[in-house]
Each structure stands twice: as structure tokens, then as C-alpha cells.
Amino acid sequence: MSLRTDVPARSRQNTISVLLADDHPVVREGAQCVLERHPDLKVVAAVGDASAAIREAERLRPDVVVMDITMPGMNGFEATRVIADNMPEVAVVILSMHSSPIIVRRAMEAGARGYLAKDAGPDELIRAVRTVADGNHYIGQGLAHSLLDVRKAPRPEEHAVDVLTTTERNILKLVAGGKSNQDVATMIGLSPRTVETYRLRLMRKLAIENLPALVKYAIRNGIIPLD
């Protein structure tokens, strides 16, 4: 689903230049193969983290950046905001496994002009890249409900915890409170490896990259006390 906007189309001749940012090589390579089957699209760089995406965007000034959310170090939201603030002529399309209205809105508020789920087909990726390069916004076909709900969805840090299961919430409270994986495993009757899997899953859902950020999130949302 594309939307007309007041974002001016970037001046270009025939080719749309694209920068890919995803920490999974198979995703980068697959997206590059899909895009470069079309003569009007050219991948100018493919990187594995958000900081590199910013550096390459500054150096190359591509028409479009296709960005994952969860990557090592800085996340895709932060990188999108930097690019949108400092390189407004560069359009960002988020390509993510997340599909909730909360996450979609967070991406758009960061400055993304497009959002696709990773199960989108090749044709839709092409359509999204061309649409944002022409100055419009694009929301993936499977995310139409998110587009309708995006204005009325709760603020990302208001109720994002609602996307977590009960077990994930309990683990969030314990881990953010300073408990080790072994401590948590003993307290709730799971193996340390299972606790680690749950911890990584809840961090992906919340688009949080490290433990200090997780602790701050838990404090802001009243999951653990400030003192």
C-alpha cells in the first residue's frame, strides 16, 4: 500500500541506488539478487550493522536504504533517525520480522518512509523501493491493519511490554533486576539456556540491543523500581 506525501522525490536519472543493512548475509545477498534483476535498481553497498549503514549512507548518498531493525550495536530505529535527520534526501525502508502497529509506528516516527515484513515477496520489495524513491510512503500489503492502527496505537514505550508473554515479562523483571541467567533459571524452573533464549526473544520484540538499555526500559515502564 503506497501513500502520496509531501516528501519531494529525489532527483535521479534512470537508476535507483540502494544500500542494504542487515546482519544476516543470506538476507543481504537475497535482497541484492532480487533488486539487481531490475535495470533501474542498483545495490551500491551491503553492510551488517547500523553504524556502517550510517557511514555508507553519508559516503554514497543512496536513494534508498533498506534497513533491518535488530542488528549488533545500534538498532535500525536509531540509524533511521540519524539518516532522516541528516540526509533527508535518503529514503529508508524498514525490512523486519516485526509486524505490530507499535513497531511500525516507531519506525515511521523515526523517519522511515517504508515498512515491509520479511515474509514479503520480491515484487513487493521492488515496489517499496521504487515508491519511496519517488517521494511517497509505502506500507507492506500484509501490514495494512498496522497502517490503519498506527495513529491510535499506544506510544512505543507506553505499552510495548504488552507484546511479551507472561514468561518473557517475568524474565524481563528478574534480568533487569540484576539476576543472572542461572539465578532466573533456578527461580522459575527453566534451564539457563532456555532463559537465555527467552531473554534474546524479548529483546528482539522490544528492539533493545543490550542489557543497560533493557534495564532503562524496565525502569521507565515501572517493571522494576528506580531505587
Which domain CATH number covers 189? 1.10.10.10
Would 227 be classed as within a structural domain?
A: no
- Inter-residue long-range contacts of 24-28, CB under 8 Å, 24+ positions, other chains counted: 24/68, 27/68, 27/95, 27/118
Q: What is the DSSP letter of 47?
A: E
Structural domain that includes position 199: 156-220
Would 15 be classed as within a structural domain?
A: yes
Query: Do residues 84 and 99 both lie within one domain?
Result: yes
pLDDT, tens digit, 9 for 90 and up, residues 164-186: 677 887 888 888 888 888 999 99
Q: Phi/psi zone of residue 137: left (φ > 0), alpha (ψ -120 to 50 degrees), beta?
A: beta
Query: Do residues 24 and 119 both lie within one domain?
Result: yes
The last residue of a domain, from among 125, 149, 173: 149
The last residue of a domain, from among 100, 119, 149: 149
pTM of the model: 0.64
Which pLDDT score, from 0 to 100, does residue 26 have?
A: 94
Please provide the size of the chain in residues: 227
The pairing of beta strand 2-3 with beta strand 137-139: antiparallel
pLDDT, tens digit, 9 for 90 and up, residues 6-37: 444 444 457 999 999 999 999 999 999 999 99
> Which CATH number belongs to the domain containing residue 93 in this structure?
3.40.50.2300
pLDDT, tens digit, 9 for 90 and up, residues 82-109: 999 999 999 999 998 877 777 788 888 8
Would 30 be classed as within a structural domain?
A: yes
Query: Do residues 170 and 141 both lie within one domain?
Result: no
Query: Do residues 182 and 132 both lie within one domain?
Result: no
How many separate domains does the chain show?
2
pLDDT, tens digit, 9 for 90 and up, residues 119-155: 889 999 999 999 999 999 999 886 766 555 545 544 5
